[in-house]
Amino acid sequence: MADIDRQRNIAFVGPHHAGKTTLVEAVLAHCGAIPRRGSVIDGTTVCDHEPEDIAHAQSTTVAFAHCNCGPIDATIVDCPGFIDFYEETKMALAGVDAAVIVVDADPARASHTQNLVDYLEARKMPHCFVVNKMDRPGADFEATLEALQSLYGRHVVAEQWPIVDKNKQSDKSSGFCGYVDLADMHDVPPDLEERTKRAHVELLEAMADFDDHLMEELLEGVEPPPDEVERDLCAECSHDQIVPVLVASAATGEGVDALVRAIEKWFPSPAEAAQVDAEGRPIAADPNGPVIARVIKTSIHPQSGKLSVVRVLSGTIKGDATLTDISQGGEKVRSGGLYRLQGKKQEPIPEAGPGAIVAIARLEAVKTGDTLTSNGHKVLLPRVPLSEPCFAIAIKPKERIDEAKIFQMLARIVDEDPSLRLARAEITNEFLLLGSGEQHVGIAVERLGRKYKVEVDTAPPEIPYQETITSGTEIHSRYKHQTGGHGQFADVWLRFEPRERGSGVTFEEKIVGGVVPKQFFPAVEKGVRETLAHGPSGYPVTDLHVTLFDGQYHDVDSSEQSFKTAAGMGVRDALPKCHPVVLEPIAHVTVTVPTTYTSTVIQQLTGKRGQILGMNPAERSGYDAIEAYVPQVELSRYITELRTATQGLGSFSSRHERYDPVPGNRVGPKAAV
C-alpha cells in the first residue's frame, strides 16, 4: 500500500463534554500509541495538554495525535466542543478528510450538533456519529438515535446496537458491555434479535437509496451477502451519503475497537478525498508535484517560537524547506524543522508528503489559514469563513507597564487564534479584546498571563454614552482677573441651540463691529469644544450649535487664554439650563436562530428594551433572522444569554445605529459609572 493510501486524517468533534478527548485517548491506547489511558480530570491526556485545558478540565484549543490502526496511519485532531472555540474547530476541519461526531447518549443534547452537522454536510465531508458514555446509567441509545434521525434525516442510521448486561447494571453503570454489528449480524443475543433485525433492515434500506443493486435485492427479499454490505457501507460513508451511528464508552473502552475499524474502512484516504483550490480547480495529491499546504493551526511558545501545523495537499516538504506564503503576498519563509505532534510532544521527521498533517517550526510571518507553496507556485486555497467576534472585554494593565508591550504580547495571542481580534474603542479609547464568547477571551487572557507573564485587569467595555441639550439658551460670561501687573480679561456672549441627532458640534461667530477681535475666535471655539468634552454628567456633549455673538475685550489684558477660559465658563453655566439628557448608543442587531426559538428571542430582545424591526427566513434553512434596535448596554453579555436560550444554536451580529436619549435619564454621572 502506498503511503498516502494508508493515511487517514480525522477530526473528533461534537458538543462540549461529550467525551471526545477521552475517546481519542482510548483510541490511542487501543492502538498502542500510548501505554495507558490518561484522564481529562487528572490532566493526563495526550490532547488536553495546554495548562488552560488542564486547569479547566476541558479542551480549549485543537490538539493533534496519531496512531497506527492496523495498517492505517491515522492523524487525529481533537477539537474543543465548547461553542466559544468553534471557529478554531472550523479551521482544523479544513485539514482533515472526515469527522467523528461524538455525542452524549442523551436525546436532549442531540440538537447541540446542529451547527457542526450543517457545516460538514455543506462541505460533503464524510462523518459518523459515536453515541458515547453508553456506560452511564440512563444512557439511552434508541432515543438518541431517533433524535439524531429526526434532526438530520434517515441517512443517519445505526450501524451498531448496544448490548446491555442487566446483571452488571448498578447506580454507576448502565450495564453496557458490547454491541451488535448491524451490517454482519453476528452473535446477536436472543433478547435483541427482533430489535436488531429491524435496525438491520433500516440500515440496508437507507443504504439502498444510493445503490440500485442493493435496492433490487431488498425488493426481491434477498439478503445481501455481508461482504457486499460492508463494501457498500464503505463506499457510501466515504461519499457522505450514509452517516453511520456507533456506540461507545470512552470510559470503559467498549466500542473503541469498532471505531478504529470504522476509521480504517469507512473514511477516505487523502488520495480519495478531493481537494480544490480557491477557484475550484482540483489539486492532485502528488508527492512529486509542487508543495501546496494549508496552515490549520498556529501555536506560539514564548521561548521556542512559532509552530505552524499544516496539512500538505500536494508535494513533499523537507525539514529545511523554503516555502512561499501565497496569502502573505508571496513572502519566502524557511522551515525551522518538521515535526509530527503527539499532543505536546514534537517528534522530528525528515519530510512530509501529500495527506500529512505536520508542524513546521519558526515560520514567523505565517498565519493560520495561509496557503504555503514551493518555488512561488501560485495557488490559493479556499479561505475558511470565520464568524465576526460577538463578545468584547476591555483590557487594562495591572501594573503601569508599557501599553505598547501588552499590545505586542496580545498580538501574539491573536496570532495563534485568528478568531480573536484587538481593537481600540472609539470615543472611550479603551483597549478591547474581541472573540467568540466570554470563555474564549477569558482563556486568551489566561494564556497572556502564563506565556508572557503579563497580568491584566478585564472589565466589560465602557458604554460610550454622550450628552446633548434639548433646549437653547444665551449666556453671558466674563473672565476678569487682576494679579499685580498684567490682568486677564475676556467677555463673551454665547448662544446654545440643539441640533439634529448625529450632527455633532458646530461653532460659528457672529461678531459685529469687532467687539471681539478676530484673533480670539479660535480660542473661544477651543474653550467651547474642550469644555463640551465633559458635560454635566461627565460624558461628551454632542449635537448642538454654539454661536459667539457678542462680547468685549481689553487692549492690554485680553489674551487667547482669557477668551478660552471665558468660553469654557460660559459652557459650564449654560448646559444645565438647556435641559441636558444622556444619550446611549443603539445597535442594529440581527439574531439568527432556528425557527423554534424565534419567539423566545423576540421576548428576550423585548426584555432588553429592544425594538423589533421584523423577522424573515434566514439564508440558512430552518432559521429565522430577527432584526431589532437594542441599546448597546444591554448587549454586553448577550451572546452568552442567547446561546443559553437556544442550546448554543443562536448567533447575532450588531452594528452601531444611532444615539437615543436614555429613558428617564437613568444613567448615573460618569464618575459613578
Ligand X SMILES: Nc1nc2c(ncn2[C@@H]2O[C@H](COP(=O)(O)OP(=O)(O)OP(=O)(O)O)[C@@H](O)[C@H]2O)c(=O)[nH]1
Q: Can residue 28 be called a binding residue for ligand X (CB under 6 A)?
A: no
Decide if residue 558 touches Mg ion (CB under 5 A).
Answer: no
Binding positions for Mg ion, 259-278, rule CB under 5 A:
none
String marking each residue 3-42 x if it binds Mg ion according to CB under 5 A: -----------------xx---------------------
- Residues touching ligand X, count (CB under 6 A): 21
Residues in Cβ contact with 599 at an 8 Å cutoff, skipping those fewer than 6 apart: none
Rounded to the nearest 5°, which phi and psi values hold at 161? -130, 130
- Positive or negative CA dihedral for 644, 435, 612, 666? positive
Q: How far is the CB of 88 from Mg ion (least distance, A)?
A: 12
Site mask, ligand X, residues 130-169, x = CB under 6 A? Answer: --xx-xx---------------------------------
Angle at CA of residue 454, ends 452 and 458, nearest 5°: 135
- Helix residue spans in 336-395 (DSSP H): none
Q: Which is nearer to Mg ion, 21 or 531 (CB)?
A: 21
Give the DSSP letter string of 535-546: -TTSSPB-SEEE
Closest CA to 268 of 128, 130, 70, 97: 97
Cβ at position 639, least distance to ligand X in Å: 18
**Closest by alpha carbon to 90, among 115, 124, 72?**
115
d(CA 209, CA 500): 65
Residue in 7, 9, 22, 316 binding ligand X, rule: CB under 6 A: 22
Mark 84-103 with x for binding to ligand X (rule: CB under 6 A) and - for no binding: --------------------
114's grid cell = 446542529
**Distance between CA 664 and CA 673 in Å, rounded?**
17
Q: Which amino acid is at 344?
A: K
Q: Is the separation of the CB atoms in 283 and 276 below 8 Å? A: yes
Name the burial class of residue 319, with classes exposed (0-12), middle (13-18) and buried (19+) by CB atoms within 10 angstroms of its CB.
middle
CB of 48 to ligand X, least distance (A): 7
Nearest CA to 46 out of 69, 12, 71, 14 is that of 12
Please name the amino acid found at residue 293: A
Q: Which is nearer to ligand X, 136 or 367 (CB)?
A: 136
Is residue 59 involved in binding Mg ion (CB under 5 A)? yes
Which of 287, 83, 543, 151 has the alpha carbon at shortest distance from 129?
Answer: 151
81 counts as binding ligand X under rule CB under 6 A: yes
- Binding range to ligand X, per CB under 6 A, among 127-135, 220-228, 367-375, 451-459: 127-135
Residue selected from 196, 249, 537, 565 as contacting ligand X according to rule CB under 6 A = 249
Q: How near is the Cβ of 220 to Mg ion at its closest, in Å?
A: 47
- If the CB atoms of residues 18 and 158 are measured against ligand X, the closer one turns out to be 18
Instruction: Verify binding: residue 113, ligand X, rule CB under 6 A.
Output: no
Residue 136 interface partner, choices Mg ion, ligand X, none, CB cut-off 5-8 Å depending on type: ligand X
Residues 78-137 that bind Mg ion (CB under 5 A): none
Site string (58-77) toward ligand X, x via CB under 6 A? xx------------------
Question: Which residues lie near Mg ion (CB under 5 A)?
Answer: 20-21, 59
Question: Which residues lie near ligand X (CB under 6 A)?
Answer: 16-22, 40-41, 58-59, 80-82, 132-133, 135-136, 249-251
